[in-house]
Amino acid sequence: MSQTKTEEPMSHRQILEALSGLLLVLFVAMVSSTIVSTALPKIIGALNGTQGQYTWVVTATLLTATASTPIWGKLSDLYSKKLLVQISIVIFVVGSIVAGLAQNAGELIAARAFQGIGVGGLQALVQVVIAAMIPPRERGRYNGYLGGVMAVATVGGPLLGGVIVDTSWLGWRWCFFVGVPIAVIALIVLQKTLHVATLRRDNVRIDYLGASLIAAGVSTLLIWVSFVDGSFAWLSWQTFAMVGAGLVLLALAVLVEARAAEPVVPLDIVRQRTTALSIVASLAVGMAMFGGAVFLGQYFQIGRGYTPTEAGLLTIPLMAGVLGASIVVGRLITRSGNIKPYIVAGTVVLVLGFAALATIDHETSLVFVGAAMLLVGIGVGSSMQNLVLAVQNTVPLKDIGAASSTIAFFRSLGGTIGVSVLGAVLARRVTENIAHGLAAAGAPAGAGSSGTSNLNLNALPPAMQHIVRAAYGDATGHIFLISAGIAIVGVIAAALMKPTALRSTLDLTAPTEPEKVPATTR
């Protein structure tokens, strides 16, 4: 076993230089998701895809990111963090290029799944590297920069995606190509600025079996969610087979994790009170945030009739809330040394925002929708990154990678489940609404579609367009009600967390509880 350590802490300037490359990496990953949020209705329409395929373009990326995140995090505890970040960027770039060349929805879903492996690395490793450079007490300030870049990416992504698909000489394929040069710049910057300690151990064993079982179990359950009540009934042999297989695979994953020398989800870390509750809260926040936000672009375009560019502009309140809350709350946490009150407040605001969005339909005032989205953004900005910080504060430096990636894993898992479940609910609700709309208009079910995707509105007759818009607009509020219910779980988990003072050192200085480190101010 050998260990390379930095001889002295990095200066503020050195941290900012390295952080610039990391923030570019984060920007690339965030844009890859948000640029699709407004462009996807046009993309799936152009590829003549279905609502189920619309959901799986998002779910595929989240699923592979979820499965690979803990592996990336564990590798970061064993190998060069810098090299791993660079490898994940390369994977992401290749996936982006292949997605941009896709000829049908199936190819796009496969390319996005591959791209998600790189995204999983980026979302885990950025947090890990920051944790290796900066003590928890100071990390709140830098998390503000992190949140700011996330907000810029989430605001700029939808706008950029809208402009690209609305520009005839570009087209939707450039939604995937545009991130490639940014990723190349990030590679160059990181090569010059990122220098962090590397821990090397002999006889390393990566728990690929555990990760594979988790991915297979979750995938089986999500596929069941996508098809149940459509292709087969809730009480059917297909349901029993798929649900049973999924649960058996997850149970085997737990057994493997308990015996693995290097588990991807360390059970000893997961069993700690702060980590366990942060996992529950991250699951809830991830399900609510990813699952809800993914369908906002579709609501504005399909349900309200706005262009992709206009839909991007209409999502600004959500991103403004994330930006403001991330920066302000990050600085407040650094100043006070206390984190629980802000996480609790953030999850409460998140519930209020989704409860408001649950009342919308295809005629709701845009001012009301914007105000509700602002609340959701504030809730996300106040809670999501700070749940990672809460866990990082309770584990020694050697476990930072595993702990950080564990939280990212469950947050991404929550998002995957949220998008899949809410997408399935939305698809069924839209189908019912369209059937009712056709019946009210005196037309037989399926009239006017001629095999054309409902998301390709321009190819539908005018009367059918109106029915489809109303169906999507009215169904969206229903999924936000589910998001609000899920977010309540996050409030409960955050309220049960033990109050902790952020430590001012990179590592635990003694084998004592980190809660005993006092806050300097209140």
pLDDT at 511: 45
Single-letter residue type at 144: G
Helix (H) or strand (E) holding 33, with range, is helix 12-46
How high is the pLDDT of residue 350? 92
CB of 224 within 8 A of CB of 242?
A: yes
pTM score, two decimals? 0.73
Mean pLDDT of 358-362: 88
449 has pLDDT over 60:
no
Task: Indicate the pLDDT class of residue 488, thresholds 50, 70 and 90.
Answer: very high
Q: Tokens 């160059």 appear where?
A: 188
- Which of 127-141, 262-276, 299-313 is least confident? 127-141
CA-only gyration radius of the chain, Å: 22
CA 338, CA 328: separation in Å to the nearest integer? 14
Q: How confident is the model over 318-348, as pLDDT tens digits?
A: 878 887 888 888 788 878 878 888 889 999 9
Average pLDDT, the chain: 78
Mean pLDDT of 391-408: 73
The torsion angles phi and psi of 232, rounded to 5 degrees, stand at -155, 165
285, amino acid identity: V
Give the model's confidence band at 3: pLDDT under 50 very low, under 70 low, under 90 confident, else very high: very low
- Taking residues 175-203, report their average pLDDT: 77
How many CB atoms are located within 10 Å of the residue 97 CB? 16
Residues 108 and 43: beta-carbon distance below 8 Å: yes
pLDDT one-digit tens code per residue, 136-174: 666 666 766 776 676 677 667 777 888 888 888 888 888
Question: Which carries the bigger pLDDT value, residue 433 or residue 379?
Answer: 379
Confidence of residue 119 (pLDDT cuts 50, 70, 90): confident
List Cα–Cα distances, 374 to 181, 283, 295, 319, 380, in angstroms: 31, 21, 16, 8, 10
Give the C-alpha separation, 508 to 263, whole Å: 22
The DSSP secondary-structure symbol of 397 reads G
Percent share of the chain, pLDDT over 70: 82
Separation between Cα atoms, residue 170 and residue 10, nearest integer Å: 43
Band of the pLDDT at 512, cuts 50, 70, 90? very low
The CA distances from residue 228 to 61, 69, 277, 417, 456, in Å, are 22, 28, 31, 15, 25
Question: What CA–CA distance (Å, rounded) separates 233 from 484?
Answer: 27
d(CA 72, CA 55): 25
> DSSP character for 502?
P
DSSP-H helix ranges across 167-272:
174-177, 179-193, 208-227, 237-259, 267-270
Q: Supply the pLDDT for residue 458.
A: 65
**What SS3 string covers 276-319?**
HHHHHHHHHHHHHHHHHHCCHHHHHHHHCCCCHHHHHHHCHHHH
Rounded Cα distance, 465 and 480, in Å: 23
Tens-digit pLDDT profile for residues 204-225:
567 778 878 887 887 788 778 7
Lowest mean pLDDT among 244-248, 295-299, 379-383, 515-519: 515-519
| Residues 124/201, Cβ–Cβ less than 8 Å | no
Sequence-ordered list of residues with C-beta below 8 angstroms from that of 121, at least 6 positions apart, any chain: 68, 69, 72, 84, 85, 87, 88, 91, 92
**Could you tell me how far CA 92 lies from the centroid of its own chain?**
16
* Per-residue CA distances from 13 to 10, 17, 18, 20 (Å): 8, 6, 9, 11
274-311 pLDDT, tens digit per residue, is 888 888 888 888 777 776 667 887 888 888 888 888 88
State how far the Cα of 234 lies from the Cα of 237, in Å rounded to an integer.
Answer: 9
Residue range 100-119: average pLDDT? 90
pLDDT of residue 40: 81
**pLDDT, greater one: 505 or 258:** 258
Give one DSSP letter per residue of 480-497, joined into a string.
Answer: HHHHHHHHHHHHHHHHHS
